[in-house]
Amino acid sequence: SLTSPSIVKAVLSTATPNRFTSPIAKGPTSLGSVKTISRSFGLKCSSNHRTSMAMYKIKLVGPKGEVNEFEVPDNQYILEAAEAAGVELPYCCRAGACSICTAKVVSGTVHQPEAIYLEDDQIKDGYMLTCVSKPTSDYEIHTHKELDLYSPSK
């Protein structure tokens, strides 16, 4: 029969070789420890590999005055932190390319280099995109501010 195990084995063994079996591409266990690799390059390696991150207190004020407060690490987007805290915020692209998740900073600061949708004057006026903003201090923001971007009185 054409599907005998020996024919299947022959076909499989003549298939394109696995590119990950090359001696150049080694798995993490074959490389050794970070400490060993660091020493081989003349680098000092601490035994304490913990990374500390800042935690900031966030206060979200919704369109009807509802308040949600929780902590956010400095390496997490505000939208993600809100979702983790069980707070529903509007969003669409998660890339800073639309205005659905617009909020306004009332106090504090955020870092949002990926907020490509917002104009510089809108950012100076305190507008931010929760999907691509990370905290740099404790802050308060008012959510659901997309329509404010387009109103003449801001």
Look up the CATH number of the domain holding residue 90.
3.10.20.30
Give the separation between CA 92 and CA 101, rounded to whole angstroms. Answer: 7
Name the domain count of the chain. 2
pLDDT at 153 over 50: yes
Number of Cβ atoms within 10 Å of the Cβ of 58: 22
Check residue 148 and give its pLDDT.
95
- Amino acid, res. 52: S
Check residue 40 and give its pLDDT.
55
DSSP 19: G
- Residues 70, 30 share a domain: no
- Residues 139, 84 share a domain: yes
pLDDT at 55 over 80: yes
Check residue 6 and give its pLDDT.
52
Give the separation between CA 67 and CA 84, rounded to whole angstroms. Answer: 16
Better-predicted residue by pLDDT, 24 or 100: 100
- Residues 84, 18 share a domain: no
Domain with 110, as residue range(s), is 55-150
Q: How confident is the model at residue 151 (pLDDT cuts 50, 70, 90)?
A: confident
Residue 46 within any structural domain of the chain: no
pLDDT at 143 over 80: yes
Check residue 52 and give its pLDDT.
67
Residue 50 within any structural domain of the chain: no
Stretch among 9-23, 108-122, 138-152 having the lowest mean pLDDT: 9-23
pLDDT at 37 over 70: no
Backbone angles phi, psi at 107, to 5 degrees: -150, 150
- Residues 88, 30 share a domain: no
